Structure 1
């Protein structure tokens, strides 16, 4: 745990976290979309007269991969909606773990928002956590000082806001 997080202005830090989360999540969505364009761009360059069975197989595989990435884009867009909907109430301070909470534990810091890989704001590392994640289910409704466990790891909530 980074002790620096215990001294931040809670509402201001939460706002910065949300802004960074939106930016990071948009970057992931953009990467997915770029991957789809690259996959499908290759397919559209093929002259139909030159298409043989092996090329059709490659095209089918590219389309299937693009569809799979499309599913990921759809999920990411749903999570982006959640992040954007959090904006009006992000500065609210929580006394129990819920959507929008920053959960400071003895091991790591969580931001209950969307599934986002660990990222840093003001020199503080935070892990973005979806309300659908199993670890969130373990910490949901807990308060400062409470303990929870997940996959043989035991956590104590040191601060919550």
Structure 2
């Protein structure tokens, strides 16, 4: 498969995954707020339940804001850009795993292959930063060979 097409698929899957997480979190906030509001009209003995729902709502709001920040960062990437060296926005295929340097999202599947969407702040990125196809790097006492960068 052409690298640009593959990169676009990986980018779109990462975007879809984050957008889905944002929607799920937004709905969780609404549910927690609604549940807390329902407890307002009940006896004072239920105040602790209301407080729990409000705490959940606050927790989900923090998660939601973090996801929105990740979406902002991801949207700064142009999936049409091609890279020769490993840097923010590149996809990296090694003899051990496939990675997309973007945000700390974790594992996604694209066309049956596993991809790790990683932040440029993680140690493995530091180990391979600036390298190109054919280069090797050591991470966790294991040698990795870069097969392709796009």
- TM class, shorter-chain normalised? 0.7 to 0.9
Q: Matched residues in 1 for 2:28 and 2:121: separation?
A: 26
Q: Which moved more, 1:127-136 or 1:91-100?
A: 127-136
Find 2:119's aligned residue among 109, 130, 147: 130
Cα distance, 1:74 vs. partner?
A: 0.9
Q: Matched residues in 2 for 1:33 and 1:63: separation?
A: 14
Counterpart contact for 2:92–2:100, Cα < 8 Å = yes
Cα distance, 1:98 vs. partner?
A: 0.8
- Matched residue of 2:85: which SS? coil
Q: Matched residues in 2 for 1:120 and 1:149: separation?
A: 25
Q: Matched residues in 2 for 1:44 and 1:153: separation?
A: 54
| 1:35 match | 28
TM-score by length of 1: 0.82
TM-score by length of 2: 0.87
Cα distance, 1:12 vs. partner?
A: 1.4
Counterpart contact for 2:29–2:57, Cα < 8 Å = yes
Structure 1 residues not aligned, in runs of 5+: 1-7
Query: Number of paired residues?
Result: 150
Alignment of 1:71-90 (within 5 A): 71-87=62-78, 90=79
> Could you give the per-residue CA deviations for residues 7-60 of structure 1, whole angstroms, max 9, x where no partner exists?
x201111112211211111001111112212222111112445122xx222222
Are 2:54 and 1:68 aligned? no
Q: Which moved more, 1:105-114 or 1:38-47?
A: 38-47
Cα distance, 1:110 vs. partner?
A: 0.3
> Could you give the per-residue CA deviations for residues 108-151 of structure 1, whole angstroms, max 9, x where no partner exists?
10011122232222232211112233322222222223333444
Aligned pair in 2 of structure 1 residues 25, 59: CA closer, same or farther (>3 Å)? same
CA-atom RMSD in angstroms: 1.9
| 1:59 match | 50
Structure 2 residues not aligned, in runs of 5+: none
